[in-house]
Amino acid sequence: MSPTDAPRDLLTLAERDYRSALILAQAPDPPMESAGFHLQQAVEKSLKAWLALKGVDYPKTHDLSLLFLLLEDARENIEPFWHLLGLNPFAVQFRYEVAEQEFADFERLAQLTGQLIAHVQSLLAIG
Protein backbone atom coordinates (compact mmCIF):
# COMPACT_ATOMS: atom_id res chain seq x y z
CA MET A 1 0.00 0.00 0.00
CA SER A 2 1.10 3.55 -0.36
CA PRO A 3 0.71 6.87 1.42
CA THR A 4 -1.98 7.74 -1.08
CA ASP A 5 -4.31 5.38 0.75
CA ALA A 6 -6.78 7.61 2.49
CA PRO A 7 -5.93 7.67 6.21
CA ARG A 8 -9.47 8.73 7.03
CA ASP A 9 -10.90 5.70 5.21
CA LEU A 10 -8.46 3.34 6.92
CA LEU A 11 -9.37 4.81 10.29
CA THR A 12 -13.09 4.44 9.57
CA LEU A 13 -12.50 0.77 8.78
CA ALA A 14 -10.41 0.42 11.96
CA GLU A 15 -13.24 1.88 14.04
CA ARG A 16 -15.68 -0.57 12.44
CA ASP A 17 -13.43 -3.53 13.27
CA TYR A 18 -12.99 -2.24 16.81
CA ARG A 19 -16.75 -2.02 17.35
CA SER A 20 -17.17 -5.51 15.89
CA ALA A 21 -14.58 -6.91 18.31
CA LEU A 22 -16.33 -5.35 21.29
CA ILE A 23 -19.74 -6.64 20.18
CA LEU A 24 -18.41 -10.17 19.65
CA ALA A 25 -16.69 -10.18 23.03
CA GLN A 26 -19.99 -9.36 24.76
CA ALA A 27 -21.95 -12.14 23.08
CA PRO A 28 -23.09 -15.18 25.03
CA ASP A 29 -20.32 -17.81 24.78
CA PRO A 30 -18.22 -15.26 22.85
CA PRO A 31 -16.17 -16.34 19.85
CA MET A 32 -12.94 -14.84 21.17
CA GLU A 33 -10.86 -15.89 18.16
CA SER A 34 -13.18 -13.78 16.01
CA ALA A 35 -13.12 -10.89 18.49
CA GLY A 36 -9.32 -11.07 18.51
CA PHE A 37 -9.21 -11.08 14.72
CA HIS A 38 -11.30 -7.89 14.55
CA LEU A 39 -9.16 -6.28 17.24
CA GLN A 40 -6.02 -7.15 15.27
CA GLN A 41 -7.60 -5.71 12.13
CA ALA A 42 -8.45 -2.48 13.97
CA VAL A 43 -4.82 -2.13 15.05
CA GLU A 44 -3.47 -3.00 11.61
CA LYS A 45 -5.66 -0.42 9.86
CA SER A 46 -4.93 2.22 12.51
CA LEU A 47 -1.18 1.72 12.07
CA LYS A 48 -1.54 1.93 8.29
CA ALA A 49 -3.56 5.14 8.65
CA TRP A 50 -0.81 6.54 10.89
CA LEU A 51 1.84 5.60 8.34
CA ALA A 52 -0.18 7.12 5.51
CA LEU A 53 -0.57 10.34 7.51
CA LYS A 54 3.21 10.49 7.84
CA GLY A 55 3.72 9.79 4.13
CA VAL A 56 5.41 6.46 4.82
CA ASP A 57 4.99 3.74 2.22
CA TYR A 58 4.11 0.34 3.70
CA PRO A 59 3.75 -3.14 2.25
CA LYS A 60 0.61 -5.21 2.11
CA THR A 61 1.04 -7.09 5.38
CA HIS A 62 -0.82 -8.28 8.46
CA ASP A 63 2.39 -8.23 10.53
CA LEU A 64 1.94 -5.58 13.21
CA SER A 65 5.62 -5.71 14.16
CA LEU A 66 6.61 -4.60 10.66
CA LEU A 67 4.15 -1.70 10.79
CA PHE A 68 5.44 -0.66 14.22
CA LEU A 69 9.02 -0.77 12.97
CA LEU A 70 8.14 1.46 10.02
CA LEU A 71 6.62 3.98 12.43
CA GLU A 72 9.66 3.72 14.68
CA ASP A 73 11.92 4.36 11.66
CA ALA A 74 9.81 7.46 10.97
CA ARG A 75 10.64 8.61 14.53
CA GLU A 76 7.10 8.18 15.79
CA ASN A 77 6.50 7.41 19.46
CA ILE A 78 5.07 3.91 19.40
CA GLU A 79 6.17 2.96 22.91
CA PRO A 80 2.66 3.15 24.46
CA PHE A 81 1.32 0.67 21.92
CA TRP A 82 3.95 -2.13 21.84
CA HIS A 83 1.73 -4.52 23.82
CA LEU A 84 -0.61 -4.64 20.85
CA LEU A 85 1.88 -7.02 19.24
CA GLY A 86 0.09 -9.66 21.30
CA LEU A 87 -2.62 -9.50 18.64
CA ASN A 88 -0.30 -10.63 15.83
CA PRO A 89 -1.37 -14.32 16.02
CA PHE A 90 -4.97 -13.32 15.33
CA ALA A 91 -4.08 -12.08 11.84
CA VAL A 92 -3.69 -15.58 10.46
CA GLN A 93 -3.04 -18.29 13.02
CA PHE A 94 -6.29 -18.13 14.99
CA ARG A 95 -8.37 -17.68 11.84
CA TYR A 96 -7.48 -21.22 10.83
CA GLU A 97 -6.91 -22.88 14.21
CA VAL A 98 -8.89 -23.33 17.35
CA ALA A 99 -7.24 -21.49 20.22
CA GLU A 100 -6.39 -23.82 23.05
CA GLN A 101 -6.16 -21.09 25.65
CA GLU A 102 -8.43 -18.31 26.79
CA PHE A 103 -7.92 -14.82 25.47
CA ALA A 104 -7.31 -13.38 28.92
CA ASP A 105 -5.79 -10.12 27.67
CA PHE A 106 -8.78 -9.08 25.58
CA GLU A 107 -9.96 -6.28 27.87
CA ARG A 108 -6.50 -4.75 28.21
CA LEU A 109 -5.74 -5.03 24.49
CA ALA A 110 -9.17 -3.68 23.57
CA GLN A 111 -8.60 -0.64 25.77
CA LEU A 112 -5.16 -0.08 24.24
CA THR A 113 -6.63 -0.45 20.74
CA GLY A 114 -9.13 2.28 21.59
CA GLN A 115 -6.25 4.49 22.70
CA LEU A 116 -4.39 3.83 19.45
CA ILE A 117 -7.45 4.76 17.40
CA ALA A 118 -7.89 7.95 19.45
CA HIS A 119 -4.22 8.81 18.92
CA VAL A 120 -4.47 8.42 15.14
CA GLN A 121 -7.74 10.40 15.15
CA SER A 122 -5.92 13.25 16.90
CA LEU A 123 -3.15 13.14 14.29
CA LEU A 124 -5.78 13.25 11.55
CA ALA A 125 -7.43 16.25 13.19
CA ILE A 126 -4.20 18.28 13.32
CA GLY A 127 -2.88 17.03 9.96
Mean pLDDT value across the chain: 89
Whole-angstrom distance, CA of residue 34 vs CA of residue 24: 7
Position 2 scores a pLDDT of: 45
- State the DSSP code for 103: -
Confidence category of residue 1, pLDDT binned at 50, 70, 90: very low
Distance between CA atoms of residues 109 and 115, nearest Å: 10
Q: For 57-92, what is each residue's pLDDT tens digit?
A: 999 999 999 999 999 999 999 999 999 999 998 887
Q: Which residues contact 6 (CB under 8 A, 6 or more apart)?
A: 52
Q: What is the pLDDT of residue 99?
A: 54
Tell me the per-residue pLDDT of 17-37, one tens digit each, with 9 for 90 and over: 999 999 999 999 888 888 999
**What pLDDT was estimated at residue 92?**
73
Show the domains of the chain with their CATH numbers. Answer: 7-126 (1.20.120.330)
Average pLDDT over residues 7-26: 96
